[in-house]
Amino acid sequence: MSQQGPEPIELHAPRTYAMPIVLRSGDVMNVGRPVKRHGRSRIARLLVAFSLAAYLAMIPVAAHAGWAQSTVGWYTNSGHNYQSYAAVNTAPGSVNAYTYAGPRDFTAPTGWIGMRARIMNTAGSVVAESSNVYTPQSLTAGSYWSAYLGRSIVGTWYSWGVTYAWNGSSYDAYMTFKSPYQNS
């Protein structure tokens, strides 16, 4: 089933580049005449350039189409260490959300780990959700199992999964970290 979602939005203010005007005490501002500077003015200009470059490098980029994944989250349940993360993959008109979970440092028996995938929009609404998946085979340390779902929709999305760990008598649930935003 497909639908038309909201239009893609920019997630940050548009980049604008403005050359800062820096007046130094050594400048002599005479209209119609060249500006005289002391030798240290060059160093000051270089510092300004470095600062500007560093600032530009830190501006977050907009959501793009393609693959993006969350930080890998670690957690411990009943003495066993697990890891999980969420990922989103978009193309024009479609989005797929993935949830990955696996054991960090032990072999998890069949069915010990569960997970499901969610697609979220920027307004905080759940847009799509899968049913739970439980691992149909044992998983060795460092390996993952995944659950994923896809939708044919246009907009800006992120993925956010739920994972489960068997504690010996029931499953305990953990949220993954959220994936970055991606546009479809």
Question: Does residue 23 belong to the site contacting other proteins (CB under 8 A)?
Answer: no
Q: Locate tokens 């978009």: which residue?
A: 90
Q: Name the minimum Å distance from CB 10 to other proteins.
A: 19
Q: Site residues for other proteins, window 25-54 (CB under 8 A)? A: 34-35, 42, 45-46, 48-50, 52-54
Beta sheet of 118-121, edge-to-edge order: 118-121, 156-159, 182-183
Instruction: Report in angstroms the alpha-carbon separations of 179 from 23, 31, 53.
Output: 44, 55, 27
If one asks whether residue 67 binds other proteins (CB under 8 A), the answer comes out as no
Determine which helix (DSSP H) or strand (DSSP E) holds 175, and give its type and residue range.
Answer: strand 171-175
What track of x and - describes contact with other proteins for positions 99 through 138 (by CB under 8 A)? -x-x------xxxx-x-xx--xx-xxxxxxxxxxxx-xx-
CA 76 to CA 94: how far, in whole Å? 35
Residue pair 124/115 in contact by the 8 Å Cβ criterion:
no
| Chain positions contacting other proteins, by CB under 8 A | 1, 3-5, 34-35, 42, 45-46, 48-50, 52-54, 56-58, 69, 71-75, 83-85, 100, 102, 109-112, 114, 116-117, 120-121, 123-134, 136-137, 139, 143-149, 162, 166, 169-171, 173-177
